Amino acid sequence: MRQRIAALLLIAVMTVCIFAPAAGMRADSLINLSVRANNTDPGVGDILTVSVIADNFPNIVRFGTTKVHYDDSLVEYVSVDLGSEISNFVYNVSHDDSFVSISAVDQYFQETGNEEDVEVPPEQQTVNIESNMILFSISFRVKQGASGQIPFWIDTPGDFTDAGGNTVSTVVDNSISVTISDRVSDDADLVMLKINTTELEPAFSPDITDYQATVERQVTDAVVTATSSNLWASVIINGCNNLQIGSNLISVLVTAQDGVTTKEYRISVTRRESYLPKDAVLADGMGVTYTLLDTPANFTPPEGFSQRMKTINEFSVPAFVRDGVSSVLLYLYDGENPPGLYLYNPDLKTIIPYDRDRTVIRKSSILLRTDIPAEVKIPKDFTAETREISGTLYDGFVNSEGDFVCYMSDEAGNSDFYVFDNTENSFRRYVPVDRTAEKAYSALMIVFMILTAVEALFIVIIVVIVHRVLSSRKNPRPKHV
């Protein structure tokens, strides 16, 4: 009997051990969803935010489509803010007259799956939260003329799937009704404040009233966008035009619907003295990095170059450009040599130092006078000569026909002799003239002329002989007896 009781107890203990964890997993895998409003007493024109709350989040990698119902006769949809706890998730949001539908998927998990050989950084691992968290928040604005109560409820929770591919059960706990207040709003908050082409520091929050921002030198008028929390609050923006170099103050004054309550937001805007964006850099095709600097004020550009704003390496920077020439002049610093002017070719990704005395600027390209390597032969029949061209002295070579050549390199680093074309007033690549055919033709002409002369001489001789023969027949000489 005792053995039978002991066996029954052992079976009971084993049953508890086997099924208790499973029961616990089922309990942990149940998600309760609820809705919560941030404002329980909104007035007409106020922003009302409704959040969907999950009481836990057991390694969920996909959920939705979750549909939240609202009364579109009382409120209008404004926007959705996504839950910060699940930053890896990508959301899909849609809305119609009475529903906001949201689905989401863990982007990192979708790319890697649950492969065991993939090392997942801690910040990108699936989320396991055992307390209340916001899945998403939906903002609405109370319509003019609205009164009574505004109902919100989760119409469809959608499917919640964990990392193992299991569907997790969900329960919708409650709906809410928010009573619309008939009071005159004293809300003087902003729900959005931004300035074009730059970021606010710190990031905008309705409770923070002082900010800093920096704009580029070329920005003289700042576009400031400010949206009040209450639709009927007035917003007046001052100081955003005719920005001066240095510090400027932009004021955003919000007056609540009650006409009494006010709140001022201030943005201290610094207009940079430099035309160059902060940390603007440029790299050539070899990966050498240069820092872009402002061109010295006393710099005189080469003839034909003018300063314009150019987009280079995604930065809008001032550069000296010339029509028809791909390269632009920039003031750069390579980290070792003193800052100076360089020619940057965006097509070839080449950066070469600019030397006013050695750089030749053609209509479509740039040439740099280069020392002649020892293995390079000077063109035949050319002798050294220094010639002045457009006020600059060039060391080169000249032949008996007056052709003047210099040894130069193009922007791609290819070197060769270039001849100066007096007609075009520019250099072009020198191609030696092959005079073999010309000499052969001259030799043939000489031979032909000699043959012609010999032929003419024979003809003359023949004519003389014939003439004498005929003369002797007509006038025979007397015979001597």
| Same topology between domain 26-179 and domain 190-271 | yes
Structure tokens given for 182 = 């008939």
Question: What does the pLDDT look like over 304-317, one tens digit per residue?
Answer: 888 888 888 777 78
- Positive or negative, the CA dihedral 305, 306, 312, 317 is positive
Return the pLDDT at 19: 39
159 or 108, higher pLDDT: 159
Return the pLDDT at 152: 94
Q: Where are the domains of the chain?
A: 26-179, 190-271, 281-354, 367-429, 436-481
* Among 124-128, 159-163, 291-295, 319-323, the least confident range: 124-128
pLDDT at 21 over 70: no
Query: 276, exposed or middle or buried, with CB in 10 Å at 0-12, 13-18, 19+?
Result: buried
What is residue 122's three-state secondary structure? helix
Q: With bands split at pLDDT 50, 70 and 90, how would you rate the model's confidence at 12? A: very low
d(CA 68, CA 156): 7
Return the pLDDT at 448: 82
Question: What does the pLDDT look like over 124-134, one tens digit per residue?
Answer: 567 888 889 99
Mean pLDDT of the residues in the chain = 83
Architecture per CATH, 190-271:
Sandwich (2.60)
d(CA 149, CA 334): 67
Return the pLDDT at 119: 52
Question: What does the pLDDT look like over 394-450, one tens digit per residue?
Answer: 889 999 888 899 998 887 778 889 888 887 778 888 887 655 666 677 777 888 888
d(CA 309, CA 15): 79
Question: What does the pLDDT look like over 223-249, one tens digit per residue?
Answer: 999 999 998 899 999 999 999 999 999
Average of pLDDT values for 46-58? 92
* Cβ–Cβ < 8 Å for 392, 357: yes
Give long-range contacts, CB 8 A cutoff, 24+ apart: 318-325. Answer: 318/275, 318/276, 318/294, 319/344, 320/295, 322/361, 324/363, 324/364, 325/361, 325/362, 325/363, 325/364, 325/365, 325/366
Alpha-carbon distances of 58 from 30, 63, 221, 336, 449, rounded to whole Å: 9, 12, 50, 55, 108
Domain 26-179 listed as CATH 2.60.40.680: yes
- Please name the helix (run of DSSP H) or strand (run of DSSP E) that holds residue 235, with its range, or none: strand 234-238
Query: What is the DSSP pairing of strand 262-271 with strand 210-215?
Result: parallel
In the block, residue with structure tokens 């209450």? 230
Position 119, amino acid = E
27 or 92, higher pLDDT: 92
